[in-house]
Amino acid sequence: MNEIMKQYQQGLVEVEMEAENLLLARHQLVENDRVRQGNREALTAIRKRAQTTKTSVPLPFESIMRDVESRPRVKEVCTTCGDHDSKEKTWLMFPGTDLFASIPFHAAHTILEKDQTHIDYESKKLQSYVKEKSFSISEKGVLADTIGPGVLRALVTLTDKPKIEEED
């Protein structure tokens, strides 16, 4: 083969590898979303069991002040547990495993909340990676027929800005 054909072949191999990595990252994003949704459902069920929602649990300061008259010491209030018995045993399937265990209620929701935070972080990293790889592949002209480089560049540089509320 001549030199030009070798360069084309090498370019094609590079694009195929990047595209394969892009597809794997997209599949991992879908899997992370599935796990994240399962955690949301589990946390919702736990809050219902504790008969709370994120907004129905009194603020810790309100609970402390309510108990000041009857007790001199400060009582910590978990925003998920509320007045629910935090030591009550709850069945939980540990994230990423097929292991069920009966653990205290407070530990169950704490594990799920930490796992949710970790999955959110990993998903954001994967989203950045997918944007970067899509942009890289587009720059090589492979996606020219479906997504223009300008559109893709706009997606890569897209950032979330907080809404500025207008003052009355």
Per-residue model confidence as pLDDT tens digits over 51-77: 764 555 555 655 555 555 555 454 566
For 70-116, what is each residue's pLDDT tens digit? 554 545 667 777 767 777 888 888 777 788 888 888 888 888 889 99
Encoding tokens for residue 103? 């653990």
pLDDT 10s digits, 15-38: 888 889 988 999 999 999 999 998
**pLDDT tens, 128-143?**
999 888 888 877 766 5
